[in-house]
């Protein structure tokens, strides 16, 4: 699916189908073992209350996300039609939620929504107690995202000129949780094609597929 997004030059955001997949899997696992609460990692910039979980931690109906959501939905519609084995793949977080409600009652909570302190506080705890270290390279800075995130960020900047992280941090600036300077430092693109190329190779893609 990720390879198809790249090779068709789709504007679908790689993070979107991934989040649909893992949240659908999380809800199905919760139903299987009768687990009532799923602990997630949505940040205050993504959402601050449970109902917004239906929008995958961000409101896809906001103007900033409308083009991204439309491109992802169009891609999934076409991809699922071409690949019948994926007919059960959810097309939206609303669909994931509807399925989950039919199976059992389960809520999603993120500690970031209500903890009074910022991530640096508990990062210091796990550094001390578990000898944990931040990744050498990540985006945004000081985050712990996967390698596909670098590719997702590159393509979002190419197609839209911004990423969902820009939208989230803009919200946090308005809420007084972050300064503009802090956001710009974290959002600085700190990687290039040298990092992206081996990621593409694992998807059977090349830099040429990105029209670089």
pLDDT, tens digit (0-9, with 9 covering 90-100), for 171-209: 889 888 889 999 999 999 988 889 999 999 999 999 999
> What per-residue confidence (pLDDT) applies to 197?
94
pTM, two decimals, is 0.85
The Cβ of residue 196 has, within 10 Å, a number of other Cβ atoms equal to 20
Residue 41 lies in a domain: yes
Number of domains in the chain: 1
pLDDT at 145 over 50: yes
Cβ atoms of 30 and 106 closer than 8 Å: yes
Query: Where do runs of H (alpha helix) occur along 8-47?
Result: 15-32
Which domain range does residue 35 map to?
A: 2-204
> What per-residue confidence (pLDDT) applies to 82?
94
pLDDT band at residue 59 under the 50/70/90 scheme = low
How far, in Å, CA of 112 to CA of 118, rounded?
A: 8
Percent of the chain with pLDDT over 90: 54
Residue 212 lies in a domain: no
Residue 157 lies in a domain: yes
Residue 211 lies in a domain: no
Residue 132 lies in a domain: yes
């Amino acid at each position: 699916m990720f390879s198809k997004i790249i090779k068709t030059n789709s504007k679908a955001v790689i993070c979107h189908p991934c989040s649909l997949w893992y949240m659908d899997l999380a809800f199905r696992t919760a139903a299987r073992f009768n687990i009532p609460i799923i602990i997630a990692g949505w940040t205050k910039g993504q959402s601050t209350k449970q109902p917004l979980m239906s929008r995958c931690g961000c409101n896809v109906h906001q103007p900033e996300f409308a083009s991204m959501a439309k491109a992802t939905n169009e891609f999934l519609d076409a991809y699922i039609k071409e690949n019948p084995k994926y007919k059960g793949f959810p097309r939206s977080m609303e669909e994931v939620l509807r399925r989950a409600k039919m199976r059992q009652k389960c809520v999603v909570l993120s500690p970031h929504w209500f903890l009074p302190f910022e991530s640096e506080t508990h990062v210091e705890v796990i550094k001390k107690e578990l000898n944990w270290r931040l990744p050498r390279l990540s985006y945004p800075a000081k985050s712990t995202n996967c390698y596909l995130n670098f590719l997702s960020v590159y393509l979002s900047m190419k197609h839209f000129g911004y990423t969902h992280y820009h939208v989230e941090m803009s919200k946090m600036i308005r809420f007084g949780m972050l300064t503009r300077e802090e956001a710009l430092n974290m959002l600085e693109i700190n990687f290039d094609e040298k990092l992206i190329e081996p990621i593409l190779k694992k998807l059977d893609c090349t830099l040429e597929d990105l029209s670089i």
